[in-house]
Chains A and B, each alone.
Chain A
């Protein structure tokens, strides 16, 4: 038995030596400053998605994840005869969750690039780990303006996004409230998250610049349920327009309770892309009728988008759950387009991916024909084509949710 074992190991050793000689070509030497990812002939190309996949905001991340999956399907699930492997990590829509998910993914040296995160808070918590591991991530749905600020700091070197910056979204809502609704006194509520805090401030600045008055800027805890006290406090300053760009849980509680407060029976209410989902309609109940929500303008997306929605509905047998699926699809497309440019493919099928070159190639993306528009990435990581629309919810039945529907959309686009 022992003799047999040693014989076999000898044979294996011999065959390995022979194989090495047979390859002949000089081995690739990695000179990239951030190192290379080596993908063996039978190994898959490994990309990761991180974002919120559970909790009240789970559909936000799930929706983007589906965009990534469809993008991979469209490539036939293969990159140069290597399977594409997608790993997902739940980042819980919190800074702590983002940090945990990012460190876990950063420790995996087989990962080529990442798509994510969902919530700006997750990026704030996790981006340092990703950048320091030499990886690059493209977020389909982070909208906090500071994330792509030219002075965002070295931790953000590995961060880009295909989502719009809220610098555009807050402005669009302010213009809608002031010019279309004719509101002159507005109040805002945020939940302390990186997303909501910044977005309501952009709105407030723009609304004030237009000549309106911000009468109250309140905040609640993200897990608060009793909104009546804070709404009563806001009612004391009698706003005509109430803007709360928060997430599903808090947004649902505010909407369900706002009409019960003396002085707020007729106030116009509005939210943003964080609650642009049928889950929010389910949580908020009948009061959502007539509420305004801002979001990317689906009707401004190029033709490819309609085909995407068809594929989506066939694959998952339901309409998209949220709004950033197309942005996730484009983010995945940008990653693989850049990979195509920089990947070094050996004759035996081994692929070397120089990390810094990949990052540079992603930043150099220019006029990429995506389904959200023609995308070019700026030096500070903005790849999105920011076209914002304001929608009105016309039916409080979550089953009727279908903003992409041509004949009978809910919510319905009202601005611009």
Chain B
């Protein structure tokens, strides 16, 4: 097809702009890093601290991102209520922990005292997600793609303000868990116990989820439905059941993430799901939406860059109060990924039938 001169010119200009933008960002990162390290404000231990904070935050993002990516993989739909499912998990875990704490159970059995709120939160989050799927998404399964998206936003508001109605707009403080206070000395590095536990718990959860998807019958069915709903149904797979279990699995991960979040940051409120939800969505896109290991990698990278980035890239450029720009780093990463590698870090090639 012949193109006119103006069209070619516009093409060229857009390309030149995009390349200029890429070069500018890379230059900023390199220069910022160089000057920060030359200034030598932070000790090696502090850099490790930044990194560890990033890993524990990133592990939580990754857990939430899994739910986005699994639902997208199966339904090609962004479940914007997922951040609020995360919030319901945090509330469930909170009330369970408060009750266990008041009976003194947590002090007697610290490990069970951690596990029971997490399991309860997973159960609660999964049931709420299944309810939302049944009420808000299933009737719209064959509607145009924008319709379930809007329904998801509606469900998000509904959950938020239902919780606000029940529990009020205030903040709740998660009870302190005594065994998690203080530091561990690991290879000569002081790391907060709670960070280690949260990161390990998140990795165990992700490993469990990955093996469910890869090595069980249900996981196989999920992958089949994700390839093609109609063909899977012809092969005798109950598509509705698989979709519901996908929602439940993703929500259970988010529910656990909610309790881990409450353990690290110690306060919860009805609106807490919004920002982590958006960040986790960013992480899912970073890793390649629809791809489960991608969501894990994306979440970890996002957490680490958010924590290390302001000090490493921005302070060297003479930007003061760099931590106010934490979100800028997160979303710049998103823009960069969409420019350099639109399918995401581990992304699948978008085939015709899926696009």
Beta-carbon contact of B307 and A229 below 8 Å: yes
A218 to B321, CA, bound (A): 4
Min distance, Cβ A234 to any Cβ of chain B, angstroms:
9
Smallest distance from the beta carbon of A118 to chain B beta carbons, Å?
14
B284 CB, nearest partner CB in chain A, Å:
19
Task: For B101, list chain A residues within 8 Å (CB).
Answer: none
Least Cβ–Cβ distance between B169 and chain A, in angstroms? 5
Residues 280-320 of B, flagged 1 when their CB comes within 8 A of A and 0 if not, give: 00000000000000000000000000111011000100001
Chain B contacts for A279, CB-based, 8 A: 170-171
Q: Assess whether B171 is in contact with A249, with CB atoms less than 8 Å apart.
A: yes
Q: Is the CB of A253 within 8 A of B323?
A: no
- Say yes or no: A56-B169 contact (C-beta < 8 A), given A217-B321, A232-B46, A253-B267: yes
A236 CA / B40 CA spacing, docked (Å): 10
Bound complex: CA of A59 vs CA of B170, how far in Å?
A: 9
Do residues B53 and A228 form an inter-chain contact, with CB atoms below 8 A?
yes
Q: Are B170 and A282 neighbours in the complex by a CB distance under 8 Å? A: yes
Q: Does B45 contact A (CB under 8 A)?
A: yes
CB pair B310 A229 closer than 8 Å: yes
- Which of B171, B275, B311 contacts A283, CB < 8 Å? B171
B172 within 8 A of A: yes
Contact A262 B190 (CB under 8 A): yes
Please tell me if B3 contacts chain A, counting CB pairs below 8 Å. no
A274-306: contact bitstring with B at CB < 8 Å (1 yes, 0 no)?
000001001111100000000000000000000
Let me know if B223 is at the binding interface, CB within 8 A: no
Q: Is the CB of A220 within 8 A of B265?
A: no
What separation, in Å, do the CA atoms of A220 and B170 have in the docked complex? 21
A219 at the interface (CB under 8 A from B): yes
Known: A253-B265, A279-B170. A228 touches B49 (CB 8 A): yes
Query: Is A364 positioned at the interface, with any CB of B under 8 Å from its CB?
Result: no
Interface 1/0s, chain A 213-257, versus B by CB < 8 A?
000011111011110111011011100000000001100110011
Q: How far is the CB of B317 from chain A (nearest CB, A)?
A: 15
| B192 touches A (CB below 8 Å) | yes
Contact A256 B323 (CB under 8 A): no
B residues in contact with A22, CB < 8 Å:
none
The answer, yes or no, to whether A367 is at the interface (CB within 8 Å) is no
* B contact residues around A228 at 8 Å (CB): 49, 53, 307
Q: Do the beta carbons of B323 and A233 come within 8 Å of each other?
A: yes
A221 to B331, CA, bound (A): 14
A228, B48: Cα distance in complex, Å:
12
B169 touches A55 (CB 8 A): yes
B320 — nearest CB in chain A belongs to which residue?
A217
User: What residues on A are CB-neighbors of B170 within 8 Å?
Assistant: 56, 58-59, 279, 282
Given A229-B307, A249-B171, A256-B265, the answer on whether A236 and B323 have CB atoms closer than 8 Å is no
Q: Which residues of B contact A285 (CB under 8 A)?
A: 173, 176, 266-267
Q: Are A225 and B265 in contact (CB under 8 A)?
A: yes
For the complex, is A54 an interface residue (Cβ under 8 Å from B)?
yes
Q: Mark B251-278, 1 if CB is under 8 A from A, else 0.
A: 0000000000100011101011011100
Confirm or deny: B76 has a beta carbon within 8 angstroms of a beta carbon on chain A: no
Q: Are B53 and A229 in contact (CB under 8 A)?
A: yes
**How far is A257 from B53 in the complex, measured between Cα atoms in Å?**
12
Indicate if the CB atoms of A54 and B171 lie closer than 8 Å. Answer: no
Whether, in the assembled complex, B326 has its beta carbon less than 8 Å from a beta carbon of chain A, the answer is yes
Number of inter-chain CB pairs below 8 Å: 107
- Cα-based distance from A58 to B50 in the complex (angstroms): 33
Tell me whether A229 and B311 are in contact (CB under 8 A). yes
- The answer to whether A220 and B192 touch across the interface, beta carbons within 8 angstroms, is no
Given contacts A56-B170, A221-B324, A226-B307, contact A262 B176 (CB under 8 A): no
Closest residue on chain B to residue A283 by CB atoms: B171
Contact in complex: B327, A54 (CB < 8 Å): no
Contacts of A286 in B (CB 8 A): 176
Q: Does A260 contact B (CB under 8 A)?
A: yes
Q: Smallest Cβ distance from B200 to chain A, in angstroms? A: 18
Let me know if A192 is at the binding interface, CB within 8 A.
Answer: yes
A219, B323: Cβ atoms under 8 Å?
yes
Task: Please tell me if the beta carbons of A226 and B265 are within 8 angstroms of each other in the complex.
Answer: yes
Interface size on A, residues (CB 8 A): 38
Asked if B57 and A226 sit within 8 Å, CB to CB, the answer is: yes
B266 to A54, Cβ gap below 8 A? no
Pick from B41, B54, B170, B327 the residue with the most CB of A within 10 Å: B170
B269 surroundings in chain A (CB, below 8 A): 56, 249
Interface of chain A residues 72 through 125 with chain B (CB within 8 A): none
A220, A225, A235, A282: the one within 8 Å of B323 (CB): A220
Q: How far is the CB of B260 from chain A (nearest CB, A)?
A: 13
The CA of A59 and the CA of B168, in the complex, are separated in Å by 11
Contacts of B53 in A (CB 8 A): 226, 228-229, 232
Point out the residue from A226, A262, A282 that lies within 8 Å of B173, measured CB to CB: A282
Over the window 159-172 of chain B, the binary record of Cβ atoms lying under 8 Å from chain A Cβ atoms (1 yes, 0 no) is 00000100001111
The answer to whether B326 touches A224, judged by C-beta atoms less than 8 angstroms apart, is: yes
Q: Please, which residue of chain B has its CB at the minimum distance from the CB of A252?
A: B267
Q: Which of A220, A229, A248, A282 contacts B50 (CB 8 A)?
A: A229
Beyond A225-B275, A228-B53, A235-B46, whether A282 also contacts B321 by CB under 8 A is no
Interface residues as binary, B205-229 with A (CB distance below 8 Å gives 1, 0 otherwise): 0000000000000000000000000
Residue in chain A with minimal CB distance to B311? A233
A61 to chain B, nearest CB (A): 11
Minimum CB–CB distance from A328 to chain B (whole Å) comes to 20
* Per-position binary interface string of chain B over residues 326-340, scored 1 when its CB falls under 8 Å from any chain A CB and 0 otherwise: 110000000000000
A200 to chain B, nearest CB (A): 11
Residue B42, interface by CB 8 Å? yes
Contact B311 A219 (CB under 8 A): no
Contacts of B192 in A (CB 8 A): 260
User: What chain B residues lie within 8 Å of A261 (beta carbons)?
Assistant: 49
Q: Across the two chains, which residue of chain A brings its CB closest to B194?
A: A260
- Asked if B41 contacts A236 (CB within 8 A), the reply is yes
Bound Cα distance from A176 to B202, whole angstroms: 45
Residue of B nearest to A286 (CB): B176
Which of A58, A230, A252, A283 lies in contact with B169, CB distance below 8 A? Answer: A58
Contact of B49 among A217, A232, A253 (CB under 8 A): A232
Cβ-defined contact, A282 with B172, below 8 A: yes
What are some 8 contacts across the A-B interface (CB < 8 A)? A218-B323, A220-B326, A226-B53, A233-B315, A248-B171, A256-B173, A262-B49, A279-B171
Instruction: List chain B positions with a Cβ less than 8 A from chain A.
Output: 41-43, 45-46, 49-50, 53-54, 57, 164, 169-173, 176, 190, 192, 261, 265-267, 269, 271-272, 274-276, 306-308, 310-311, 315, 320-324, 326-327
> Known contacts A230-B310, A257-B265; can you find 8 more A-B pairs with CB under 8 A?
A233-B323, A252-B173, A252-B267, A253-B265, A262-B45, A282-B171, A284-B173, A284-B267
